[in-house]
Amino acid sequence: SLLRSEAIGIDAKRIQWTAFVIAGTVAGVAGALFAYLKGSVFPDSLGISLSVDALVMVLLGGVSIFGGSGTMVGVGLAILIVLNLRNGLGLANVDSNTQTGVVGVILIVSVMARNTLDRLRTRWDRLAPIETGGDLVTSTIGSAS
């Protein structure tokens, strides 16, 4: 069961309301700035590539889709990588569809690399010797006991 906000002394409703107000304000300002920079707004295709970029930045930064891992430093570095890549491709006159494709390939490669590293780490942990109280005990995976 969840703890009641009164029991732990936190006004959860006020914090939740404040978070929604801040998020709405930031989203409104971002939308106004985006419309100002683009000069016009077309809702049918507006920001489609931005969602792909945001997903790539987060995953490339080391954040797990399932939560529990990742750092702001990693995400910050990933933001710089993706923005510089987009800027460089734009300066090279690469069209936006190709740019989104390149960023999508980076997304796929980053997810595959993370999954591969996690599998290798799991296998290594199972096969690595385990030290217990001064005695070296080797793993018995794959051997008859």
**Dist CA 120 CA 136 (whole Å):** 22
pLDDT digits (tens, 9 = 90+) for 91-102: 999 988 888 888
Binned at pLDDT 50, 70 and 90, residue 71 comes out as confident
Q: Flag whether pLDDT at 130 surpasses 80.
A: no
**Dist CA 111 CA 64 (whole Å):** 9
CA distances for 23 relative to 30, 35, 50, 55, angstroms: 10, 18, 18, 18
What's the whole-model pTM score?
Answer: 0.57
Q: Flag whether pLDDT at 107 surpasses 70.
A: yes
pLDDT of residue 115: 83
Strands (E), 1-145: 130-132, 135-137
pLDDT digits (tens, 9 = 90+) for 22-69: 999 999 998 888 888 877 777 666 666 677 788 888 888 888 777 777
pLDDT of residue 45: 64
What's the mean pLDDT when you consider all of the chain? 80
**Dist CA 49 CA 89 (whole Å):** 14
**Dist CA 110 CA 58 (whole Å):** 10
Burial label for 78, CB within 10 Å (0-12, 13-18, 19+), is buried
DSSP state of 45: T
pLDDT of residue 11: 79
| Residue whose structure tokens are 């016009």 | 40
